[in-house]
Amino acid sequence: MAFLPRNGCLTRRFASSSRRTLCSHTPGRYASSPPAAAGHHSAKYGGVFDAPPPREGGSKKKTSPLSALPTSSLIRGLLINSISSKPWLLGPAVSVISFLSRPNRAFLFDVNRNKALAKVVKGTVYRQFCAGEDGNEVKQTIKSFERMGFHGTIMTYAKEIVFDSSTKVTHGLGAEENTDPAKAQCPLIEAWREGVCETIDMLGKNDQLAIKKHRITGAGPSITEALLAGKQLPKQMWAALLEVGNRCKRRGIRILIDAESYVYQGSILEVGLDLMREFNRDGQALVFSTYQAYLKSTTSAVAAHLETALKEQFTLGIKLVRGAYLAMEERSLIHDTKADTDEAYNTIAHGAVKRKFGRIGEEGPGKFPSVNLLLCSHNKESVFSTYALHQQRLRDGLPTVPVGFAQLQGMTDELSLGLLHVGDLEGTRPEVYKCSTWGTVTECLGYLTRRALENRDAAGRTMDEYVALKAEARRRIAAFFFLGSRPKGGLAPK
Ligand SMILES: Cc1cc2nc3c(=O)[nH]c(=O)nc-3n(C[C@H](O)[C@H](O)[C@H](O)COP(=O)(O)OP(=O)(O)OC[C@H]3O[C@@H](n4cnc5c(N)ncnc54)[C@H](O)[C@@H]3O)c2cc1C
């Protein structure tokens, strides 16, 4: 499948195991710098995918993309993927994690009380997918991503507030108390604000804060009802959001508002627009809303928001995902097939990059609003086709928008590091982020269950990742024993 427009030169097949060729010949800086001229050839890099040779100013190194992975991560990745790539092992593994995540377990299965069990979980799946239990551990994880070449880390707090509508009792964020929605100051909104501010304090300049509003729909009727009915948020919540926005603005940290279940999504997008009106006024996005391509309604929502941003002169921050609630949503709301979701995703991503989406932008670049795009996906086809299209437009001197890419910690390292690797070879540095979650082992069990389920639903990709990790392990062993050179990434566990 060719991903670029007719005049493009990207002819790789990411999805299949057959010969893969990426031949975007765009040098220059990543986001919006003018490209320099260069020819292109075809050469194989690192056994992961084919790419053009290094451009002038680009790196001449021909190491594998996964060579940037610390050895401890490589070993853990091999262990986890050896299980994830075998359905007969993954099924029981998912059941075990899901079982452990349920409340009121007997001592033996209670990660909170059984320290030996907590240690095993922490040393394996927790370390693979989570950033840490406290500020120190989280900062170390962020540093290790920096060392690997990532532009930054997207961080979110795992702990969820659960509102029991039958007892009117809320659990979470240390606010185990009855919640009276009539009270002027809701302790749960305050607890939410404190949790988010604690996360901000762990982040550095290029990092991003992911916030989930459903964490506070559990804060009792005040927020849930407001979001469901499309009513204004309580003043206290709006004040908390403004405080979070101002803190992030001072620190240069971008805010990503996660997408959730459809019933809340319309209101969450409206809140996102309000925050963008407030904070996205200086030509770039501080606030991003998440658009779920699997929803049939998303294409028109994006078009409407582009028009609003154009009319009201703010930057639209688009965080594009396919959507994670397939099993829970009403099926008729979602595209009928995976291919339809893929097409919607690529249409939005490519439309933003080309600054032409439906009838918006037809009359020239001036008629397209300022947009910042963050592609959150593990799908190689979507990621590399958008990357190549963006590079091609820079090379051709055509208008485009700044683009970033993000994958979850512990997943598709071959893709994340592959993007950085291609960027190095081309003398560019794509903005690639790792998205992670922090919290105690117990707090992260729900998140870990979702990761296990996602791996189960993406068996082919997990197998590809496993094959790539095995190849990298073989490369390091060969380099160490036969070539006498110490491989990049080292052999000693870190
Ligand atoms: C950094 C990051 C942040 C994220 N944030 C959010 C978020 O805020 N909200 C959210 O909902 N998700 C979020 N996700 C998850 C995302 O929505 C996807 O579930 C996940 O990334 C898998 O999709 P993919 O693009 O990586 O790849 P793929 O594996 O190519 O796509 C899988 C996805 O395709 C869709 N799909 C699968 N089968 C069908 C079918 N039969 N018909 C129609 N569609 C189908 C589903 O959305 C499924 O998740 C995030 C993902 C990342 C990497």
Q: Lowest mean pLDDT: which of 101-105, 285-289, 344-348? A: 101-105
Atom nearest to 378 CA in ligand 1: 26
468 within a domain of the structure (yes/no): yes
Distance 282 CA to ligand 1 centre (A): 31
User: Same structural domain for residues 145 and 262?
Assistant: yes
What letter would DSSP give residue 303?
A: H
Ligand 1 residue neighbourhood (C-beta within 6 Å)? 258-259, 290, 292, 294, 321-326, 334-335, 337-338, 341, 376-379, 406-408, 435, 458
Domain assignment present for 294:
yes
Say yes or no: 90 and 201 in one domain: no
Distance, CA of 332 to CA of 344 (rounded, Å): 16
Q: Is this structure's pTM higher than 0.85?
A: no
Work out the percent of the chain whose per-residue pLDDT is above 70: 77
Whether residue 9 lies inside any domain: the answer is: no
Interval 68-82: pLDDT, tens = 999 999 999 999 999
In the predicted model, what is the mean pLDDT of residues 38-50?
A: 31
- Please give the Cα distance from 325 to 426 (Å, whole number): 37
Tell me the mean pLDDT in the region 285-300: 98
- Do 169 and 121 share a structural domain? no
Distance CA 23, CA 266 (A): 40
Is residue 344, in this structure, part of any structural domain at all?
Answer: yes
Same-domain check for residues 233 and 297: yes
- The region of weakest confidence among 32-41, 235-244, 343-352, 447-456 is 32-41
Is 7 inside a domain boundary?
A: no
pLDDT reported for residue 37? 30
Q: Flag whether pLDDT at 183 surpasses 90.
A: no
Total Cβ atoms within 10 A of residue 306: 22
- Residue 435 CA: nearest ligand 1 atom is 1
**pLDDT, tens digit, 9 for 90 and up, residues 22-36:** 222 222 223 333 333
pLDDT tens-digit series, residues 302-338 = 999 999 999 999 999 999 999 988 888 999 999 999 9
Pairing mode of beta strands 371-376, 316-321 = parallel
The per-residue pLDDT for 87 is 84
Q: What's the domain range around 99? A: 63-132+443-482
Torsion sign, CA atoms 210, 282, 396, 46? negative
State which of 322, 338, 464 you would mutate to test the pocket of ligand 1, scoring each by most atoms of that ligand within 8 A of its C-beta. 322
Q: Assess whether 233 and 103 both reside in one domain.
A: no
Q: How many angstroms separate the alpha carbon of residue 457 from the centre of ligand 1?
A: 10
Which range (40-44, 57-61, 396-400, 473-477) has the least confidence? Answer: 40-44
- Both 330 and 226 in a single domain? yes
- Does residue 109 share a domain with residue 156? no
State residue 117's pLDDT score. 94
Coil/strand/helix, residue 16: coil
Angle between helices 298-312 and 338-354 (to 10 degrees): 20
Query: Are 343 and 373 contacting, i.e. CB atoms less than 8 angstroms apart?
Result: no
Indicate whether 103 and 156 sit together in one domain. Answer: no
Question: Residue 389 belongs to a domain with what CATH number?
Answer: 3.20.20.220
Q: Is 105 exposed, middle or buried (0-12, 13-18, 19+ CB in 10 A)?
A: middle
314 and 389 belong to one structural domain? yes
If you measure from the C-alpha of residue 36 to the centroid of ligand 1, how many angstroms do you get, rounded to a whole number?
Answer: 35
Give the separation between CA 169 and CA 176, rounded to whole angstroms. Answer: 7
Nearest CA residue ID for atom 39, ligand 1: 338
375 and 414 inside one domain: yes
DSSP state of 396: T
Cα of 144 to ligand 1 centre, how many Å? 26
Asked if 189 and 334 sit in the same domain, the reply is yes
Centre of ligand 1 to C-alpha 341, Å, is: 9
Look at residue 18 and tell me if it is in a domain.
no
Give per-residue pLDDT as tens, 356-371.
Answer: 999 899 766 668 999 9
Buried b (16+ CB within 10 A) or exposed e, 439-473: bbbbbbbbbbbbbbbbbeebeebbebbbebbebbb
From the CA of 406, give the closest atom in ligand 1: 1
Residue 257 near residue 200 (C-beta atoms within 8 A): no
Backbone angles phi, psi at 44, to 5 degrees: -100, 130
CA 325 to ligand 1 centroid distance, Å: 8
Q: Is residue 491 part of a domain?
A: no
Report how many domains make up the chain.
Answer: 2
Residue type, 396: D
Through-space distance between the first and last CA atoms of the chain, rounded to whole angstroms:
40
Domain for residue 36, yes or no? no
| Whole-number Å distance between alpha carbons of 455 and 320 | 20
Do residue 150 and residue 298 come from a single domain?
A: yes
Residue for token pair 């809140």: 271
Confidence check: pLDDT of 126 > 60: yes
